Structure formats: structure tokens, C-alpha cells
Structure 1
Amino acid sequence: MVATNPLFQGSFFSLKKFQATVVNDIWPEVLFFSLVATMVSLVSKLTSTSLAISSAMLTVLGTVLGLVISFRTSTAYERFMEGRKLWTSISIASRNLATVIWIHVPFDRIDKATGEKKSKLHVVIEKKSMINLVQGFSVSVKHLLRGEGGVYYADLYPLISLLPRYSNPHSIDEQDMLPLWKASEMDHKAHDTLRTRHCTPEPTIRHTISDPGQPSDYDEKNFAATEVSEDGTKWYNSLRAGNSHKKKFDPEAALPDIPSEHPLKPSRNPPSSGFFDYFPFLRILRPLTRPIRRALRHPPRPEHDIAQRSFTGKKIRPDIADSNVPSEITLYLSTYFAWLMRNGLLTPASATTMVNSISQLQDVVANLERIRNTPLPFAYQAHLRISLWLYLFFLPFQVFAAFGYLTIPATAFASFLLIGFLEIGQEIENPFNYDLNDLDLDHFCLSIQRELHEVTAHTVPEPDSFMFTEWNQPFAPADRRSAKAMMFDTDHDYHGPETGMASIRRTLLKSWREVDQATRR
């Protein structure tokens, strides 16, 4: 396999690829140490005072510092790869769980209350609804890791909206609201992460709707939106309605259209990129251009809506938000498992696979939260960065005697190299946000969605319906007849009471010899 240089893959270079680097984060420090080198060079060359000092400590300290930075980067990369492995575990557990539900839970069953046979439609709706919950688990984990609490998202709410909202089925009292929806209500009203404060999300077109199957005041052709009052009117959310003419890729189009009590947030809400994100060294001019930008912006952005970078362009991480949605989904999956066991609908082997898959999902989300919520200790990071700063500050003093004016580019390169590796380690230690270097969680969720729909597309056929056809040549290459032809050829040795099995074994042995010869170089 030949690896491709990512900088030269596709177009020669792009501003998007530039944003994936850490230049935005490290340029102030590189500039500072370059200015120090410039000062040392000019003072030593243009005056009688020489600022050069002995370089005896340069090699020893540089080696130790390089090893420590390498350890820091390796530790961060291990967290990055562990996050990727855990998402693979979610995919495997989701597929195993869906397979058990779809194939091993029987379609033919008797209703114990009435003694009558349940319809196939009843059973298929039950199974498909639970598999939709399995799909919703991965989506909820994605929002949890990104610090987005609650369930009111365009890619999550349609999958779990069937879950009960109140402990009493006939109650609509706020006091009876179950934890999943109560927490989501609070998240929707009070949850205010750094990203939601500082970014303008994609517009969500909202429509009033009286029933999921019968939209009212809703023009399917023109996607006309209606006004929504504050008196409890339900919302009809459609991201694809307002953006179908802008983008072709619309994964939410494959989800159900379900009315919600609150407007749904976009499935993705990455920070927007502006002019100063592509040219970070000009960010120091941002305060001077603020009146002009406010005057040109329509409508004006709120006062608190600022960029997600510091004054120098360094990334500001979004706040961490807790969410109980994944754990609530696993509780409902466990409840379904218990119901299947009480009704004798699972064999012991299938039950073991199902409970192990649910346990694996619970373990994975706990480990993902551990990675997200456990940064390296502050003392370690602070001591390492201060040590690096001192090393780079005294570097031009130690190399000037040998380099002269080349001390300036040499110091700039050394600071770019060392600070860059340190910043890369800090960036990838939490690989669950929207940065270009983070894991593509949306891709993982969509991949799981495709796999689960592939499972439910399986028709669970009887083996006899597809094995004994003209499309099956089980004894090739020694015998290239189809299974159907062999079954109808009753005069062949395969059917003889004395020659049958011996003839079949002879054919299989011949197949082994031909395959062994054909596959060796």
C-alpha cells in the first residue's frame, strides 16, 4: 500500500488544509522567540556587547526536552487511537445487537393475552423500532462527546421520539416527566456551551403540525414555514427543507419526520470559519475592524457572538456538557431484553450475545467519557511548556557564536518544530470535536446507520429457498454443476447408497488439489 502525502492529495493546497495545521495556535510563540533571536543577533553584531553564552547545556537539555515532548505526543496519539477503537466497538456491538433482534427473535409468536397469533407487521414494527434505538445510541454518544446535551437534534430526536415521556402513561404533569426528557428540557432551555454562544447554527425551518402523518399548514413543494406560538404548539423541523438547494448531501432525509416540542438543533454545528481564521497573524487587527464588520452584517450579530479563538488565534475548547441519553437508551434495550426473556423468545446463546452487546455499549461510552473528561494533569503540561519556553528563549544566546545572523531562522524553525509537536499533542488528546484533525464521528454514525438498515433488509429466508438453485455450484472447481442439476441427476454416483458419500469426498479432494495448484505461484 502506497501512502499519499495529505498536503498534495487532490489540489496542491487549500485554506481548509491550512486550518488543519497548528499554525493558528503557535504563531505568536514562534514570532516571540524569533524576535528574541533578532534582538540577540542585532545587539551582538551592531554593538560591542556580545550576548553569546556557552552551549554546553544545549545538547543535554535539548535531548531531554525532545524525549519528553515525544512522550507527550505519543500519549495523546494513544488517546486518539483508543477513541477510534472504541467507535469500532460501538459499530460491532450495534451490528451484533441488531442481528440478534432481527434474526434470532422469532417472527412467529402467540399473544399470551388473547391466544391468537400476532401479525407479522406487529412483530416487524417492534423489532425495527428497537433497532432504531440501537442506531440512536451511537448518535447520542456523538452529541455527548461534543458537549451537546439533550435529545433535540435533527439526527437524534426522530430515532428516540417513541420513548415514553411520563412515568404515568396518562399524565402530562411536569412532575411525572421521566429523566431522559426532563434533562433534555433543561438542556434545551439552559444548556449554553461555548459553541452555541459563539456560532450561528444552520437555519432550521419550523412548521406547525397536528399529526406526524397529516401535516397542517405545510407546503411540501415550497416548504412554507408558519409562525409558531409559545403556547405549546408542536414544531415540524426540517433542515433539508431550507437547505436542499444549497447542499446535495443530506443524511437527515433518510430519517423519519416526527413533530417535536422544541425546534431541533442541527445534527452538526461546527464553528464557522472567518477571514481571521485563515490569516491568524491579522487577528490583532480584529478590534479595529469590529465597527465596520458590525455595520456590514445583516442582521447584526449579538454582542456575545465572538469567534471561537482567543485574541491571538488559539483555539478555545467548548465546554463539557453531561448527557444521560446513551445510558437511558441502554436501559430501554435492557428492558426489551428482559421482556424477551420473560416471554421465552430467546435461546440461551442468543440471550448471551444480546446482553454482552448491551454491556459492551455501556462500557464503550464510559471509556469514551474517560478520554474526553480526563486531560493530562495541569502541572505536567505547565511544567513542560515552561521548560520549553526557557529552552527556546536561551537558544539564540547559545547558538549565535556559531550561526551569526542564521540564528534568527534557526530559532524560528526550532520553535516551530518543538512548539508544533507540543500543540499537536494537546489538540488530538480529545479527538471528539469538530476540528479537522478530530475523528469523523458523523461518518461513524452514518456507517452504523447503513449497517443496521442492511441488517433489517435481510429477509431471513429458509436455507432450502436459496441453496438448491442454478446459482449455486458448491463443489467447484472439480464439479461445476449447479446444486439444482446435481439434485435432479438421480443417476449420478452422488445418489447411490453405496457410492454417494465416497464419490462426494472424491470430488472435494479433487477440488482441493486444483485449488492448491491454482493458488500457488
Structure 2
Amino acid sequence: MTDGHSAPPADAPAPAAAADCAAAPVPVESRSHATPHQAATNHEKEHDSIGRVTPRPTFLEHLATSRDSQFQFDRRDSSELDRYFHGPRNMEKHSKWPIMMRMHGSVMPKMIMPLLSVAIWSTAVTVFSKKVHNLGINNILLTVLGFVVGLALSFRSSTAYERWADGRKYWAQLIQTSRNLSRTIWINTSEREGEAGKEDILRKLSAMNLILAFAVALKHKLRFEPDIAYEDLAGLAGHLDTFARDAHDRLVVNPPPKSIWKSAGEYLGVSFAESNPRKYVKRSKKPLGHLPLEILNHISAYIDSVVANGTMASTLHQGQAITMMSTLNEVLTGTERVLDTPLPTAYSIAIAQISWIYILVLPFQLYTALEWITIPASIVAAYIILGLATIGSEIENPFGQDVNDLPLDTYCRQIAVEMDVMTAAPRPTVEDFMSRAENLVLYPLSQLGYPDWKERTVEDIRGALRTKVVINPSTSASDTSTIMENICPKSTGSV
């Protein structure tokens, strides 16, 4: 087992919690013919093939079916080799290859077709100049055009990296705010006695799940994935009454497999093979709403409820919760700004044209001095120029699933793991963890615990605190005991 836990015996009975959480079996006919809206609203019963009465599937059962098929589709269509050359980025992997020899994250696959075109063009120019007529020109254009191309590529790279860095800053802010808001909910929101306390715990867990759901929904929205039935989202927000739930479309979650030609074209960066990422948003037959914003509305409703029932009594914590809700909204708006404000089209077209003009004119300028060496020299120059332009184009949208995009899946898993760590133990009680004997309050000066020092006088404690300043790290244990005996006689032999 990769998680470090031993597997239960094969004949061991299933845990009760797992049995309670398992969805009831649903007829295949009802799953395939009922629309998501019908599955959510129609509670009529229908007969199966042998006459038994079975309920129509609920919306969450319908989502479970979609998640299962989506998981199978992802597992089938995403091989280790494909992830290596395409993405998404796996931050846990480490390569010992030199950087110049790595392919993971390289733009080399997208450079194959442009470099092949440059090779053909430079070969044609060189052969014609060698066999028919010399087409060489003065290389003064290398200096003039090279300066312009350098400025254009510098502008392209700086603007693209600025967008990539802004996206990382917003997601770092999201992680920080999620931690703070989760701690405010779990620690600073009290729990009542009896059944009301049980309800408080479940509501706190539900609210923290909504914080995670906000991050996951934002990830899908930035990737133009408008549905709610994704494997990592349905269980967190499928119970909310949202527009995305009403507009659920199984084809969006499980698109048909791509043809080999389309897959190869996308892999090689052929523009004609690339699909519009917004197509599922445009083709939706129902309003999609704004799922992250709707989730924020539900979190706000929870904050209002704990303020009303008195479990979040401190006005300081109330203000912090409202402020952190505003911060989440700022993150939402900021990431949308990064996504929807690309480099102006005029700049993109001009930079691409300037780069290609320089590359196409380059063989004419190199032939006089290099002759046959013009061919490899043109290919190398094209790789440098087009490589920088391609990198700028790839990182311009930092929220995709390419290797060089931000690992949003990793960020969401990080939030989920930290919430699990936070909720693994009840709210700490100061009287409990402060008064333990293992609490060495004057460590490393003294090995005595909190209960022992509690029996001392205030003068002893203050004298020991002054001793911590006097004693150097190099002072021996015997000297430390002598000093402590002079200041705190009771601690002799127990330091």
C-alpha cells in the first residue's frame, strides 16, 4: 500500500461507514435515458425488466456514474508517456538528466514542424544559389532585423511570464486564505453540547469542504470546464443548488475520443488541429451560472448562521471571516483578469510576422559566407527565435494542463490534505496541552516540565529566564547545573 497502511483481510466485513455511503443500485436504463434535470427533480418510480419497482436515480447517483466513467476515460487516455511529453506537471517527479537533455516541459515537440519547414526553405535557397544563381545579399539586415526581433521576443517573454507569475501569486493567496478561513471555522467556532454539538461538527466539516470546493471549482472554471460532475468536484458541491448542476452534460465530462490525426496535430502544435477551449461553454444549452461565486454565497450563509446561533461569538473572528471571504472573491476576480487579458492580438500577430520574416530572410544573408553551412545555421537560428516565441505563447495562459502551466491539481490536493490534518483532532484545549509534563517550558536550559515549574516561585522562574541569556550554547552541563543551583536551589540535580 502506498499510503503506509496495511490492507484488511480479504474476508473482513466491509466497514459500516462504507456501507452507509454506498449509492443504491440504479437501473442502466434509467441512468442512460434520464436527463440530469429529471434525475434531480423527478422522484417517480419505474419498473425494471423483471417487474420490480426501483426509484429513479438521484442527481448524486447520476454524478457518480459520470465520475466513474470519467475516471476510466482519464486512466485510459492518459499514459505515463503522454504525461511526460504533454502534462500536467508532476511536481513529485525528479529527473537526474542534465537540463539541456530533458524533454519533460520542453517545447521541442511543437518545434518539429516549424524547424522542418525552415530546413526545407533553407535547403531550397542554398541549392538554388549553388546550382542556378547566387541569391546571397548583404548581411547588414542581420544587425538591423536582429535588434528588432530581440526587442519583440523580449516583450513577448516578459508579458507572458508576468501573467504566469500573477497566476501563481493568486493561487498562493488562495491557499493562504483557505488555511486561515478553515482554522477560523474549525478552531474559533465553538461547538454546543449534545445533539447540537454533533450538528455543529458536521456543519463545520461541510463548510470546510465548500472552501475546498471553491478552489476546485475555480480550477475547472479557469480551464473552461463548466460542469459539476468532475471526479474531484461532484462530491464536494454536487448537493448545492447551482446552475452548473442543472446544466450538467455528460458529454462535457466525457468527451468523445480524439482521432489520431487530431491528437498528433495538437501534440505537434498545429494550429488547425487545436480546439477552442471555450467550446463547451459556448455550446451549453442552459445557463452555466458562476460556480465559484455560488459556492462563496453558500459559505457566506454558513458564516451568518454561526454568528446567529452564537458559536462564533467573537466580533474579531467574525470580521476576519468576512475579510477572508472578500479575499477569496479578490482571488477569483484576479485569476479571471489574468485569463481574460491576453497579449493584444495585434502584438501577437506582429511579433509572429517579424520573427518569421527574419527567419525566412536569414538563408539569403548567410549563403555568401557559409554556403552549405547555411542550412544547419538557419535551423539553429530558427530554433532559438521560434523557441522563445513558443515558450511565451505556452505560458501566457498559466491555468491549463500543459507541463509548463501551474500545477493546479497539486494546489487543490494540498488544500485538501491540510484540511484533513486540521480536522484530524478536536479543537485544542489550552489547559490540556499547556499543563503536560512534556511541556519543557525552559528548554534547553531545564529539562523540567510545566507542572514542576508551576510549583516554583515567580522569582525562580524569572531567575531561570535571566540564566538562559547568561549561559552560552558552549557551556557544559556541569556549569549549567552550578548556575541553576545558585539561582534556583530547588532545581539542583534536576536541570
Query: Residue 433 of structure 1 corresponds to which residue in structure 2?
Result: 400
* Match in the other structure for 2:95: 9
CA contact (8 A) 1:25 1:314 kept: no
**Residue 331 of structure 1 corresponds to which residue in structure 2?**
297
1:157 to 234, 256, 277: 234
Q: Distance in 2 between matches of 1:118 and 1:101?
A: 19
Is the 8 Å Cα contact of residues 213 and 236 (structure 2) preserved in structure 1? yes
Superposition CA RMSD, Å: 3.1
Question: Which AA in structure 2 matches 1:327?
Answer: L
1:69 correspondence with 2:26: no
2:371: which partner in 1? Answer: 404
CA drift at 1:68: 1.7
1:82 correspondence with 2:143: no
CA distance in 2, matches of 1:46, 1:425: 39
Q: State the structure with bigger RCO (CA 8 A, min sep 6), 1 or 2.
A: 1
Q: Equivalent residues in 2 for 1:15-414 (5 A)?
A: 18=103, 20-47=105-132, 49-108=133-192, 119-163=196-240, 165=241, 180=242, 182-188=243-249, 192=252, 197=255, 199=257, 315-316=274-275, 318-319=277-278, 321=281, 324-344=290-310, 345-414=312-381
- In the alignment, is the contact (CA less than 8 A) between 2:122 and 2:375 conserved in 1? yes
Give the % identical residues: 30
Identify if the C-alpha distance between structure 1 residues 317 and 423 changes in structure 2 by more than 3 Å, giving closer, same or farther: farther
The secondary structure found in structure 1 opposite 2:227 is coil
Give the gaps of 5 or more residues in structure 1: 1-5, 110-116, 166-179, 201-271, 284-306
CA contact (8 A) 2:119 2:378 kept: yes
Provide the rounded CA distance (Å) in 2 between the counterparts of 1:82 and 1:18. 26
- 1:149 partner amino acid: P
For 1:293, the equivalent position in structure 2 comes to none
Q: CA deviation at 1:145?
A: 1.3
* Residues 338-395 of structure 1: CA deviation (Å, up to 9, x unaligned): 2233344331110121111111111111111222222211111001111111111111
Give the superposition deviation at 1:473. Answer: 0.9
Distance in 2 between residues matched to 1:198 and 1:414, nearest whole Å: 40
- Rounded to whole Å, the distance in 1 between the matches of 2:276 and 2:394 is 10
Distance 1:120 1:369, change over 3 A: same
Structure 1's consecutive aligned runs of 4 or more residues displaced over 6 angstroms after TM superposition are 274-277, 307-310
Q: Residues 308, 12 of structure 1: CA spacing in aligned structure 2 closer, same or farther, 3 A cutoff?
A: closer
Residues 500-511 of structure 1: pairs in structure 2 closer than 5 A: 500-501=458-459, 503-511=460-468
Change (3 A) 1:21 1:313: farther
Amino acid at match of 1:156: L
| Number of residue pairs matched by the alignment | 376
1:159 Cα shift? 1.3
**Alpha carbons of 1:140 and 1:106: their partners in 2 closer, same or farther (altered >3 Å)?**
same
Distance 1:162 1:122, change over 3 A: same
Distance of 1:143 and 1:57 partners within structure 2: 47
Give the letter for the 1:79 counterpart: R
User: Which secondary structure does the structure 2 equivalent of 1:436 belong to?
Assistant: coil
Partner of 1:107: helix, strand, or coil?
A: coil
Instruction: Render the CA deviation track for 1:214-263: whole Å, top value 9, x for unaligned.
Output: xxxxxxxxxxxxxxxxxxxxxxxxxxxxxxxxxxxxxxxxxxxxxxxxxx
Report the CA distance shift for 1:141/1:97 in structure 2 as closer, same or farther (over 3 A): same
Amino acid at match of 2:247: M
Q: What is the Cα deviation at residue 457 of structure 1?
A: 1.9
Asked if the contact 1:24/1:313 (under 8 Å) is kept, the reply is no
Normalising to structure 1: TM-score of the pair? 0.66
Unmatched tracts of structure 2, length 5 or more: 1-91, 282-287, 476-495
The amino acid across from 2:217 in the alignment is S
Report the alpha carbon displacement of residue 310 of structure 1 after superposing the two structures with TM: 6.6
Answer yes or no: is the 8 Å Cα contact 2:223–2:399 preserved in 1: yes
Alpha-carbon distance in 1 for matches of 2:110, 2:272 = 6
Q: If each structure's helix is expressed as a fraction of its own residues, which one has the higher value?
A: 2
Conserved 8 A contact 1:34-1:408: yes
Match of 1:475 among 442, 458, 477: 442
